[in-house]
A and B are shown apart, each in its own frame.
Chain A
Amino acid sequence: MKERYSQRKLVDAAVRGLCLLATGAALIPLGLVLYYVTSRGIGGLDWAFFTELPKPVGEAGGGMANALLGTLELVGLACLFGIPPGVLAGVYLAEFGQHRFAKLVRFSADVMSGVPSITIGIFVYTLIVLRTKSFSAYAGGVALAVLMLPTVTRTTEELLRLVPESLREAALGLGVPKWRATLSVVLRTAAPGIATGIMLAIARVAGETAPLLFTAFNNAFWPTGLAQPTASLPVQIYTYAVSPYDDWHQKAWAAALVLIGMVLILNVAARVLVRHRVRSR
């Protein structure tokens, strides 16, 4: 009996050990990727990297300022096209979404969040690029917005649902119309949480490459207009990574460091926001 018990203990300890091991194994790649990106990228970060345009093939120097700016521009457009509709759709689902139509919307949003980003690229290419006869920042922004939309919608809905009913009733009880109550009381209460969700969504789309290949395309110059093809960090990293030039590889690592830095900052900030909210609740 005792033997059996110790055997059981042994199995238990082994399983615990394996779980610990698995956690370690899951985190090793993160460490490796961060290590490689930092150690190889840091040398490429100089003033020129942030201020200059890429140089022609074979000439040393130059930077990625246009891609940095392009990424900001594309993410900005994505926010413009993706956040207001997403938040409003979320409001609809949380505040008015009791019937079958809302179920359909919810279902569509969930399905959409699983659609591969490359197919969104095809969709926007046929929808916008072929119609306007031009690759453009707009098209890139729309593609990223489509990627953001479901996340923003569902996050908004979930968070609005967490707002206590009493708060709504109190506002309505004061004679405020429902739209005002929703916007200035309910939405405002949930705002930090929604902002967190949005930041995570931004962090995700900022690093997306596949949907930009056929939409924003790429550009070796400064962005001159929203109807022009636009460079972006992820596409530039891809182009440089598969190139044969050592100088470009170095630049790809440096750009990866910048991109990962942006993504990490957004994630950590979102994290801090959440903690803040949880504490204050």
Chain B
Amino acid sequence: MISRRNLVSALVCLPLTASVGCSKPDGAGPGPSGSSGGTAPAQAGTVSLVGAGATFPYPLYSKWISEYNKANPGVQINYQSIGSGGGIRQISAGTVDFGASDAPMTADEVQKAPTKLHHVPTTLGAVVITYNVPELGAPLKLSADAVSGVYLGTIKKWNDPKIAEGNPGAKLPDKDIAVVYRSDGSGTTAVFTDYLAKVSTEYKDKVGAGKSVKWPVGLGAKGNEGVTGQVKTTPFTIGYVELAYAKQNKLPIAQLRNKAGQFVEPTAQTITAAAAGVEVGDDLTASLTDPAGEKAYPISSFTYLLVYEDAKDKTKGQALAKFLWWALHDGQKHAAELDYAPLPDALITKTEARIRSLRSGNDKLLPGG
């Protein structure tokens, strides 16, 4: 007995006692039901929110969470970028407090979710084509044909005429193109394939659009992080990632020819231009790919948080609603500095109404909602 107890105490208790602040498990504990006006959750201890999903907005979200935590130390938001598919799946399974996705939930996914979920648009971003070709100085200019050809596997070499066409004078090497795609269920993939399916019927018939598709060529990497890492470390690769990832890692970004025939570089302005005049549906979602505007970047997208209409835990629900409100207003100013674009004003107004409609049982989560 003694020997076992020694072992157990030595090996078990030490790490357990070391984990300071081990509070009681608070999973099922309902908050104090009377405190409807509880403004400062810090008084009641720390509120931990768990979220998971899209990697596309992760650089911005991680900034938001850090800033929000500085302003509200009582709220810890643990956001894990596991991919949009993961965000939808985990919120549907009820294992997280909120999900995140760049691809709106499909009708099928909405129907299968056990409770009513809402999309809350948070920011605008762009999927960019990045590449690793040491020989190239100026940014590559690619037509829609070239992009779809590379991802269909019909364009195999960097010096293919379809690539050369937009880049007169560029030194394109006679090397195989190593295509990189997302191995996980990805909103970035959904946006990119949505674009490809719009610009290429061959692509639409052969592959189709979705969060995870069967790519005819290439190798898979996990998350925007993985694709960026793969492109960064491997010469002659090409990949599609969110703008911020390419920017932060100083990777070259291709200019794409849009519907109006212009080569456009992805910037906050050209992304905003893509959202101009887009009609947002009742579920606050819209597709922004292949827009008509002359200055519009062709692969732009909203990204969304997924939240329960009826929060099980009121304290958590309130904390989340306040964070959403903060993100929609104060948070927007961080968007441009991290290469995202702020939401259009009209959409912000609509989204405010949606956040106000969130509830827990019969109580609204935000005062005056």
Contact = CB atoms under 8 A, between A and B. Distances in A.
B11 A187 contact: no
A207 interface: no
Contact of B8 (A79, A129, A243): A79
Nearest to A235: B80
B95 interface: yes
Contacts of A217: 50, 52, 80
Contacts of B58: 57
Nearest to B223: A242
A134 B19 CA distance: 20
B46 interface: yes
A69 B19 contact: yes
Interface in A95-129: 129
Interface string B121-140: 00000000000000000000
B27 A220 contact: no
B1 A183 contact: yes
Interface in B53-93: 58-59, 62-63, 65-66, 76, 78-80, 93
B95 A135 contact: yes
Given A79-B8, A225-B26, A72 B15 contact: yes
Interface string B19-38: 11111111100000000000
Contacts of B1: 183-184, 187
A225 B26 CA distance: 8
A76 B14 contact: yes
A155 to B, nearest CB: 13
B8 A184 contact: no
B7 A83 contact: yes
A7 interface: no
A80 interface: yes
B221 interface: yes
Nearest to B11: A79
A69 B18 CA distance: 8
B179 to A, nearest CB: 17
A133 interface: yes
Interface residues of A, number: 51
A195 interface: yes
A228 interface: yes
A83 B26 contact: no
A221 B95 contact: no
Contact of A221 (B7, B63, B76, B229): B76
A265 interface: no
Interface in A204-257: 217-229, 239, 242-245
A59 B67 CA distance: 12
Nearest to A248: B225
B62 A57 contact: yes
A73 B15 contact: yes
A198 interface: yes
A236 B175 CA distance: 35
A184 B25 contact: no
A28 interface: no
A156 to B, nearest CB: 10
A55 B65 CA distance: 11
B12 interface: yes
Contacts of A177: none
A178 interface: no
Contacts of A87: 4
B16 interface: yes
Q: Choose among B1, B13, B228, B232 the residue with the greatest number of A CB atoms under 10 Å from its CB.
A: B1
B50 A135 contact: yes
A129 B89 CA distance: 13
A95 B101 CA distance: 56
A222 B18 CA distance: 12
B106 interface: no
A223 B8 contact: no
A87 B338 CA distance: 54
B204 to A, nearest CB: 30
B308 to A, nearest CB: 12
Interface in B218-268: 221-223, 225-226, 228-229, 232, 245, 248-249
Given A133-B94, A244-B229, A57 B59 contact: yes
B2 A184 contact: yes
B43 interface: no
B14 to A, nearest CB: 7
Contacts of B249: 244-245
A213 B106 CA distance: 26
B225 A80 contact: no
A136 B26 CA distance: 11
B3 interface: yes
A182 to B, nearest CB: 10
Nearest to B227: A244
A79 B7 CA distance: 9
A164 interface: no
A53 B71 CA distance: 17
A55 B228 CA distance: 20
Contacts of B25: 136, 138, 225-227
A57 B248 CA distance: 9
A175 interface: no
A17 interface: no
A56 interface: yes
Contacts of A59: 66
B184 to A, nearest CB: 11
Given A134-B50, A224-B46, 7 more contacts: A76-B13, A76-B19, A80-B16, A138-B25, A184-B1, A242-B229, A245-B249
11 contacts: A72-B15, A76-B16, A80-B12, A84-B4, A134-B27, A134-B95, A221-B48, A225-B24, A225-B26, A227-B26, A242-B222
Of all A-B residue pairs in the complex, the 4 with the closest CB atoms, nearest first, are A227-B25, A244-B228, A72-B15, A76-B15
